[in-house]
Amino acid sequence: MLTLYFERFKRNRLAVAGMGILFLLVLVALVGPYIIHSSPSTQNLLERLQAPSSQHWMGTDDLGRDVFSRMIAGARVSLAVGFISVAVAVSIGTSLGLIAGFFGGWWDTLIMRTVDVMLSIPTIFLLLTVLAFLNPSIYNVMAVIGLTAWPGLTRLVRGECLSVREHDYILAARIAGIPTTRILFVHILPNVIAPILVSATLGVGGAVLTESALSFLGLGVQPPMASWGNILALGRDYLHLAWWLCLFPSAAILITVMAFNSLGEGLRDVLDPRA
């Protein structure tokens, strides 16, 4: 079965390319800080706003900091926010979706009406409203994105659970007196894990984009900590003098989000039994 999945995945060139890009990105984020020649926070005003060169591969910013070093640091921030916030959203969304789909009744009504209310509010406005009452930091960004990204996944898991719970083996397990938690996590969850995995992969790309947008607006990761969003925000002020401050972070955001989306679409094609 795994061989079949792998063969089907290899046929999707965009998905393979996306996985390769993400592998390189994770590798750079992990080992980059140990091989770069300067700290992302080291300032040198004598070298401010220098164009890309052999000494500074991506140039320097208004404080003389090496942009390449800051891009690597920003990659660690973006990936950390993406993976952790999606982990929070998946934990909440999967748990609530299983409860709503399996138990039904007032549990289903309460959870789904909450989901409807959450989905009726534009996500960016909800994020801005919550962050307006919190101190901007990477931890608050992770928490807020994770705590606002679960409704869509809850609806998805509920729909899959409603279908799976009608199967004969679930009925047999309930008649046999198997504990409910075992039925949920041993018999139902493995059968709905495929759409969860696809949704989580796509969600990481969305979380990276959301974090970059919040940092660009000054409500996300705060200087001197480097983030692709706040590097891009700085480049906006020096666009006519230092084009590289906008080009490199915007290209990194674009490539990363496209890579996650391509990988997610590839996983959807592989794991969908109707494909």
Whether 241 is in a domain gets the answer yes
**For residue 34, what pLDDT is reported?**
77
**For residue 273, what pLDDT is reported?**
57
Average pLDDT by consecutive 10-residue portion of the chain (275 residues)? 71 86 90 76 83 84 87 90 93 92 88 89 80 80 88 91 84 84 85 88 91 86 85 85 89 93 85 60
Angle among Cα 174, 180, 185 to the nearest 5 degrees reads 110
**For residue 111, what pLDDT is reported?**
92
> With left for phi above 0 and alpha for psi between -120 and 50, is residue 188 left, alpha or beta?
alpha
What's the chain's average pLDDT?
A: 86
**Model confidence pLDDT, tens digit, residues 15-32:** 889 899 999 999 988 887
**For residue 35, what pLDDT is reported?**
74
Whether 261 is in a domain gets the answer yes
Whether 140 is in a domain gets the answer yes
**For residue 272, what pLDDT is reported?**
66
**Model confidence pLDDT, tens digit, residues 149-189:** 899 999 999 988 888 888 888 888 888 888 888 888 888 88
Whether 40 is in a domain gets the answer no
Can you give the CATH number for the domain in which 208 is found? 1.10.3720.10
Number of domains in the chain: 1
Whether 60 is in a domain gets the answer no
Whether 1 is in a domain gets the answer no
**For residue 63, what pLDDT is reported?**
86
Whether 243 is in a domain gets the answer yes
**For residue 2, what pLDDT is reported?**
65
**For residue 6, what pLDDT is reported?**
72
- Residue 192, domain extent: 8-33+65-271
**For residue 253, what pLDDT is reported?**
93
Whether 149 is in a domain gets the answer yes
